[in-house]
């Protein structure tokens, strides 16, 4: 059983959980994810592994409460066990010494960016993390990331903290300042990734994005997560989740993410967390 | 009565039909369609069997069920005895009685079928297995003394479950690794409730666990552990029964529009995740009004009948050949037609049309005609020039086949695969290019049937047992030397 050993809120809507999963903890690499179910009637949802502790046999997940499943998950507490957890899935991030790597995380995507920043730093890169959020209160993992790289740049949309503006502006300014950037990792909301790719495209800077389409089995069996990359259909679960951002059809990703909007609303309206029934 | 007279009496009994839910009613619910024989019907049907001295039906069965043997017991009203007889060679009789293509196997070989109707072997098998399950008096056969040998089975589908049952009975320590959260493979995620109730699969899996089979769910071999790691960790042999689970798309424009599913996704949502019971279950599925299912196999029939049950006003099978060439079981095609499925034959989609929100609204098709036979012996469908037309659809299910999932091959050095990424084996033993590693089922043959995968599991079980016994001897000789 996958027991929750720690749970806490990083901001009003963002939860950090440490979960027992010794096999996953041992095997997982930056960029990989797990699929979990809260209970027997639940959905299978993918979440990126943020960190792991091999000795304790645990993994760390960070998620934003957005729908029924994440709401239920957020209501679970230390000592509770998940119905299922499967992983590690997907290809790990391709880590090498690229030189200077900019790693942009937006919103809850900062959690996904964190292991990539860590792995890039360990591989000897000069890592410049850029993290952004709508406002100061919902900015996560600043201290953890600063402890890896002093180069950290923070931005908030409303100017309540750090640079006033979007992470795209920060990246543009960094390029304009003459910083030689060898690779960019962009992880966050789809529009953010899309616009970051537009910033780097004219300069030919390789830009890797981490895609988050809807998944069901997440082992390559169903094709729910198909994305278009360079005009070819790929399954994010087994071919990704990271792809060359300059080749990704973000419009398709956006529309496919909205496939079940009506049902998600119904699920929330009918919401009575079954976990509380127990 | 003389034998001749007896035979004449038997021949007078008509093949017993099995009661089923009315087509109109059943097309709107997910309950099982056929209701099964009553005791009286089963006995009467069993009495039709001529008890041939050299039964041709057994030769038609991939797992060598003693068909006259179990039927005789039904005729004698020893229903539990019949179930036990079945289980001597078939670990999953309640499943086989439902989903085997008997008309192409045992029943095709039945001598009665030459002049009239063959014995309804599948229905009798189902009856006996159901009788035992409902009685609660489930026999757990004695297993052999522990051999001390450990076998890892990868994939808890028909091949994996069969081999696990066989090897555990021979005294081996068997662990099955399953990627999904429930054991059963295609029996759980693929075949719908109305054709194979999931409590039956659960009961058969429980039975295997009672025999001593260990089942580890949520374990993707190749990711959490590789085949080599399993061997290093003390498994003496590994059987790969991972199926051909990757969906095939047609690569035509618009195929990624919202509302277009692979059959795997559509059926997994409905069957494994129980999306048809949304919002009681959390996984959603689109309840299309005009649903087109592309393909003519059993998976296509399962998908289109699921669409009806989800409330489709128009549920179409769109198939590029004619009904004669359809790979689906005749019974499934009949069931679909009775329930109101519309067949658009000699028709092939060429493009999907979407709206501004990225949802499919139409499917451009082209009419086909049959040309010369192809390598499968079926006449090749050829497009008719300028015959394109558009069908109004809001949901499409692509059921044109599956291919191998490359994760095992990619993570197992030295495992020989063919150009379609299926695992290459030596004959029927399932031996692969890697010592101690065996494979069987769809991952070797490409997508086929439940019973053929079970047959492959059965044969590989014999080969693995022999390998383990020789291995034991080899070790002993070495110890002595």
**Which residue from B minimizes the CA distance to A215?**
B265
Task: Name the DSSP class of B325.
Answer: G
Give the best residue of A84, A85, A219, A275 to mutate against chain B (max B CB count within 10 A). Answer: A219
Give how far B225 is from chain A: nearest CA, Å. Answer: 8
Q: Are A11 and A137 in contact (CB under 8 A)?
A: yes
The answer, yes or no, to whether residue A225 has pLDDT greater than 90, is yes
Measured CB to CB, residues of chain A less than 8 Å from chain B are 23-24, 27, 37, 41-44, 68-69, 83-89, 216-217, 219-224, 226-228, 233, 238, 251-252, 255-256, 258-260, 263-264, 266-267, 270
CA distance B270 to chain A (A): 11
Compute the distance between CA of residue A236 and CA of residue B124 in angstroms, rounded to an integer: 46
Span A92-145, pLDDT tens digits? 999 999 999 999 999 999 999 999 999 999 999 999 999 999 999 999 999 999
Facing A222 at nearest CB: one of B220, B223, B265: B265
The ipTM, to two decimals, is 0.93
Are the beta carbons of B283 and A44 separated by less than 8 Å? yes
Of B113, B121, B117, B171, residue with least CA distance to B147: B171
Query: A162-174 burial string, b = 16+ CB within 10 Å, else e?
Result: bbebbbbbbbbeb
Q: Which residues in chain B are closer than 8 Å to A258, comparing Cβ atoms?
A: 258, 357-358
pLDDT at B331: 87
How far apart are alpha carbons B283 and B91 in whole angstroms?
A: 32
Helix (H, G, I), strand (E, B), or coil: what is residue A45? strand
Q: What is the chain A residue with the closest CA to B242?
A: A221
Distances (CA, A) of B408 to A208, A221, B73, B210: 26, 14, 44, 29
Residue B464 to residue A213: CA distance in whole angstroms: 41
**Separation of CA B302 from chain center:** 12
Report CB contact under 8 Å: B405, A220. yes
Average pLDDT, chain A: 93
- Say whether pLDDT at B228 is over 80: yes
Give the three-class secondary structure for B217: coil
Chain A contact present for B253, CB below 8 A? no
Whether residue B437 contacts residue B227, with contact meaning beta carbons closer than 8 Å, is answered with: yes
Main-chain phi, psi angles of B204, to 5 degrees: -70, -35
At residue B368, φ and ψ (nearest 5 deg) are -120, 160
- Nearest by CB to residue A263, choosing from B255, B278, B405, is B278
What is the end-to-end Cα distance of chain B in Å, rounded?
Answer: 67
| Residue B308: closest CA among B262, B342, B357 | B342
* Averaged pLDDT for residues B108-119: 90
User: Residues 6 or more apart from A84 whose CB is under 8 A from it?
Assistant: A2, A35, A36, A37, A44, B181, B217, B218
Residues of A with Cβ-Cβ distance to B265 under 8 angstroms: 216, 222-224
Quick check: A174 pLDDT over 90? Answer: yes
Sign of CA dihedral A253, A254, A255, A259: positive
- Beta-carbon separation of B284 and A264 below 8 A: yes
pLDDT band at A270 (very low <50, low <70, confident <90, very high): confident
B282, B358, B405 ranked by CB distance to A69: nearest: B282
Give pLDDT, residue B458.
87
pLDDT score recorded for residue A273: 56
Q: For the residues B44-53, what does the mean pLDDT come to?
A: 92
What pLDDT is stored for residue B142 in this prediction? 81
What per-residue confidence (pLDDT) applies to B40? Answer: 95
Using the beta-carbon criterion (under 8 Å), do B268 and A221 form an inter-chain contact?
A: yes
Q: How far apart are CA B209 and CA B184, in angstroms?
A: 13
- Of the partner residues A88, A221, A233, the one whose CB lies closest to the CB of residue B223: A88
How many Cβ atoms are within 10 Å of B116's Cβ, its own excluded? 10
CB B228 within 8 A of CB B412: yes
pLDDT above 70: residue A277: no
**Residue B316 φ then ψ, to 5°:** -115, 145
Residue B472 pLDDT level (bands cut at 50, 70, 90): low
Question: What does chain A come to in residues?
Answer: 278
CB neighbour class for B395 (10 Å; exposed up to 12, middle 13-18, buried from 19): buried
Q: What is the pLDDT of residue B455?
A: 86
Pairwise CB contact (< 8 Å): B258 & A219? no
Q: Which residues of A touch B256 (CB under 8 A)?
A: 226-228, 233, 252, 256
Provide DSSP, B251-299. Answer: --TTTTSBTEEEHHHHHIIIIIS-GGGTTTSS------SEEEEE--SHH
Collect all residues of chain B within an 8 Å Cβ-Cβ radius of residue A226. 249, 256
**Of the candidates A85, A88, A255, which has its C-beta nearest B258's C-beta?**
A255
Q: Of A11, A70, A7, A62, which Cα lies nearest the Cα of A38?
A: A70
Query: At a CB cut-off of 8 Å and minimum separation 6, what does A152 contact?
Result: A128, A129, A130, A131, A142, A145, A146
d(CA A237, CA A216): 10
Three-class SS state of B85: helix
- With beta carbons under 8 A apart, name residues in chain A contacting B407: 219-220, 238
User: Containing H/E element for B420?
Assistant: none
Residue B476 confidence (pLDDT) above 50: no
pLDDT score recorded for residue B477: 46
The whole-angstrom distance between B425's CA and the closest CA on chain A is: 23
Tokens for B390, please give them.
Answer: 């558009």
DSSP for B286-320, written as a single string: ---SEEEEE--SHHHHHHHHHHHHTT-SEEEEE-S
Residues from chain B contacting residue A87 (CB–CB below 8 Å)? 220, 223-224
User: Per-residue pLDDT tens for B330-380?
Assistant: 889 999 999 999 999 999 999 999 999 999 999 999 999 999 888 878 889
Is residue A184 within 8 Å of A205, Cβ to Cβ?
Answer: yes
Q: Is B478 on the interface with A (CB under 8 A)?
A: no
Asked whether the beta carbons of residue B407 and residue A84 sit closer than 8 angstroms, the reply is no
pLDDT at A196 over 50: yes
Q: Of A16-30, A74-88, B129-143, B197-211, give the lowest mean pLDDT range.
A: B129-143
Residues of chain A in contact with residue B269, where contact means CB-CB under 8 angstroms, are 216
Q: Which residues of B touch A67 (CB under 8 A)?
A: none
Choose among B257, B265, B283: nearest Cβ to A223.
Answer: B265
User: Are B262 and A222 in contact (CB < 8 Å)?
Assistant: yes
- Contact across the interface for B358 and A256, Cβ inside 8 Å: yes
Q: So what's the pLDDT on residue B447?
A: 85
User: Mean pLDDT across the stretch A11-16?
Assistant: 93
Q: Do B218 and A85 touch (CB under 8 A)?
A: yes
Record: contact A222-B282, CB cut-off 8 A: no
Count interface pairs A-B at CB distance under 8 A.
116
Judging contacts by C-beta atoms under 8 Å, the chain B residues touching residue A24 are 224
Distance, CA of B170 to CA of B164 (rounded, Å): 10
**Is the per-residue pLDDT at B115 higher than 60?**
yes
Contact A255 B246 (CB under 8 A): no
Q: Give the tens place of pLDDT for each residue, B414-467.
A: 999 998 889 999 988 999 999 999 999 999 998 888 888 988 998 999 999 999
* Residue A192 CB coordination number (10 Å): 21
Tell whether the model's pLDDT for residue B393 goes beyond 50.
yes
Nearest CA to CA, how far is A41 from chain B (Å)? 5
Please state the pTM of the whole predicted model.
Answer: 0.92
CB A73 within 8 A of CB A85: no
CA distance A234 to A229: 7
Cα B381 → chain centroid:
27
Sign of CA dihedral B406, B408, B413, B415: negative
Tell me the chain B residues in contact with residue A82 when contact means C-beta distances shorter than 8 Å.
Answer: none
β-strand partners of A82: A2
Q: Please indicate if any CB of chain A lies within 8 Å of the CB of B186.
A: no
Q: Which residues contact B463 (CB under 8 A, 6 or more apart)?
A: B429, B430, B431, B438
| B residues 259..318 contacting A (CB < 8 A) | 259, 261-262, 264-265, 268-269, 273-274, 278-284, 286
């Amino acid at each position: 059983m996958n027991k929750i050993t720690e749970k806490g809120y990083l901001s009003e809507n963002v939860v950090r959980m440490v979960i027992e999963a010794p096999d996953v903890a041992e095997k997982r690499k930056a960029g990989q994810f797990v699929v979990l179910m809260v209970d027997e009637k639940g959905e299978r949802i993918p979440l990126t592994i943020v960190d792991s502790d091999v000795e304790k046999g645990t993994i760390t997940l960070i998620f934003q409460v957005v729908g029924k499943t994440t709401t239920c998950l957020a209501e679970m507490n230390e000592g509770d066990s998940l119905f299922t957890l499967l992983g590690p899935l997907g290809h790990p991030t391709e880590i090498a010494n690229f030189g200077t790597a900019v790693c942009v995380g937006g919103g809850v995507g900062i959690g996904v960016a964190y292991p990539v920043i860590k792995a890039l730093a360990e591989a000897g890169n000069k890592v410049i993390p850029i993290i952004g959020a709508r406002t100061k209160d919902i900015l996560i993992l600043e201290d953890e990331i600063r402890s890896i790289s002093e180069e950290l740049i923070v931005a908030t949309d409303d100017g309540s903290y750090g640079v006033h503006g979007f992470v795209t502006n920060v990246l543009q300014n960094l390029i304009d300042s003459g910083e030689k950037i060898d690779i960019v990792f962009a992880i966050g909301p789809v529009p953010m990734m899309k616009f970051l790719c537009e910033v780097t495209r004219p300069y030919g800077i390789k830009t890797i994005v981490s895609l988050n389409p809807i998944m069901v089995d997440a082992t390559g069996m169903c094709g729910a997560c198909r994305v278009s990359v360079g005009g070819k259909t790929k399954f994010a679960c087994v071919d990704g989740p990271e792809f060359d951002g300059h080749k990704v059809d973000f419009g398709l990703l956006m529309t496919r993410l909205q496939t079940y909007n009506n049902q998600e609303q119904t699920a929330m309206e009918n919401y009575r967390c079954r976990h509380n029934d127990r | 009565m003389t034998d001749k007279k007896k035979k004449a009496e038997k021949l007078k009994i008509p093949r017993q039909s099995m009661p089923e839910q009315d087509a109109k009613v059943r097309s709107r619910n997910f309950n099982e369609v056929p209701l099964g024989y009553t005791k009286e019907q089963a006995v009467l049907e069993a009495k039709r069997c001529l008890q041939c001295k050299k039964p041709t039906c057994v030769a038609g069965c991939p797992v060598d069920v003693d068909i006259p043997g179990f039927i005789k017991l039904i005729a004698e009203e020893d229903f539990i005895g019949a179930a036990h007889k079945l289980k001597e060679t078939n670990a999953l009789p309640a499943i086989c009685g439902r989903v085997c293509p008997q008309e192409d196997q045992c029943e095709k070989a039945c001598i009665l079928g030459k002049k009239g109707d063959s014995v309804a072997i599948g229905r009798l098998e189902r009856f006996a297995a159901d009788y035992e399950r409902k009685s609660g008096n489930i026999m757990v056969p004695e297993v052999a003394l522990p051999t001390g040998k450990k076998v890892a089975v990868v994939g808890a589908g028909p091949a994996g479950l069969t081999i696990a049952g066989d090897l555990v009975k021979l005294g081996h320590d068997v662990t099955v690794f399953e990627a999904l959260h429930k054991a059963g493979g295609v029996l759980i995620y693929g075949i719908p409730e109305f054709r194979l109730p999931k409590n039956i699969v659960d009961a058969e899996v429980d039975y295997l666990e009672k025999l001593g089979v260990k089942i580890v769910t949520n374990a993707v071999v190749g990711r959490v552990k590789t085949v080599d790691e399993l061997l290093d960790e003390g498994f003496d042999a590994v059987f790969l029964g991972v199926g051909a689970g990757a969906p095939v798309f047609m690569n035509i424009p618009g195929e990624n529009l919202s509302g277009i599913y692979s059959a795997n996704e559509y059926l997994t949502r409905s069957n494994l995740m129980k999306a048809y019971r949304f919002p009681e279950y959390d996984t959603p599925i689109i309840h299309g009004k005009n649903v087109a299912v592309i393909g003519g196999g059993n998976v296509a029939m399962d998908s289109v009948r699921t669409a009806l049950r989800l409330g489709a006003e128009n549920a179409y099978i769109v198939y590029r050949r004619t009904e004669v060439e359809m790979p689906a079981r005749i019974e499934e095609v009949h069931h679909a037609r009775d329930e109101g499925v519309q067949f658009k034959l000699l028709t092939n989609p060429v493009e999907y049309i979407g709206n501004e929100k990225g949802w499919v609204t139409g499917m451009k098709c082209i009419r086909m005609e049959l040309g010369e036979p192809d390598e499968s012996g079926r006449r090749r469908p050829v497009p008719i020039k300028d015959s394109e037309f558009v069908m109004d659809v809001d949901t499409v299910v692509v059921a044109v086949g599956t291919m191998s999932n490359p994760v095992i091959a990619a993570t197992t050095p030295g495992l020989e695969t063919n150009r379609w990424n299926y695992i290459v084996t030596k004959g029927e033993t399932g031996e692969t290019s890697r010592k101690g590693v065996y494979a069987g089922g769809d991952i070797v043959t490409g997508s086929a049937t439940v019973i053929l995968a079970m047959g492959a599991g059965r044969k590989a079980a014999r080969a693995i047992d022999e390998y383990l016994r020789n291995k034991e001897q080899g070790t002993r000789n070495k110890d002595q030397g």
